[in-house]
């Protein structure tokens, strides 16, 4: 199966951006909640989405039924057995979105990408064009 090399580069950059955001959130909030007992500690796996207190990842959506169209939903989860109030979750999710927005220009210079609210989630929308192979 052929995968466009610019898509590979784009997704690699997106993954690095989200790993950096995950690390920043972990550093700031890891003492706020106890880690789920079945979840590896921060840095214990090769992928920060799979360890530590937070799971933050980009999930592409075609945007069917969305006012904002296609883009990458900022998927966010707190891996704890403690009660996370809706207000706490919203605050953490907003902080993640602010960090993603702040780092987008460094990872994707020259692209018109932005972080917007889309229903209950945040989403990266904008120029996802790949150009020529």
Does 109 reside within a domain? yes
What is the number of domains present in the chain? Answer: 1
Could you report the per-residue pLDDT of 51-85, keeping only the tens digit for each? Answer: 999 999 999 999 998 888 999 999 999 999 999 99
Q: What are phi and psi of 78, to 5 degrees?
A: -110, 120
Distance of CA 133 to the CA centre of its chain: 27
CA dist., res. 126 & res. 115, Å (int):
9
Domain that holds residue 112: 5-126
Does 121 reside within a domain? yes
Prediction pTM value: 0.91
Give the sign of the dihedral formed by CA 106, CA 112, CA 115, CA 121.
negative
Query: Helices marked H in the chain — which ranges?
Result: 5-29, 86-107
Does 131 reside within a domain? no
């Amino acid at each position: 199966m052929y995968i466009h090399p610019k898509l590979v580069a784009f997704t690699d950059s997106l993954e690095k951006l989200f790993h950096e955001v995950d690390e920043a959130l972990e550093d700031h909030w890891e003492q706020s909640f106890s880690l789920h007992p079945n979840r590896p500690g921060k840095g214990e796996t090769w992928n920060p989405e799979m360890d530590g207190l937070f799971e933050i990842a980009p999930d592409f959506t075609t945007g069917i039924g969305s006012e904002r169209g296609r883009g990458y939903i900022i998927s966010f989860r707190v891996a704890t057995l403690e009660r996370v109030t809706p207000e706490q979750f919203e605050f953490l999710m907003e902080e993640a979105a602010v960090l993603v927005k702040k780092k987008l220009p460094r990872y994707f210079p020259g692209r018109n990408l932005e972080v917007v609210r889309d229903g209950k989630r945040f989403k990266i929308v904008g120029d996802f064009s790949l150009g020529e192979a």
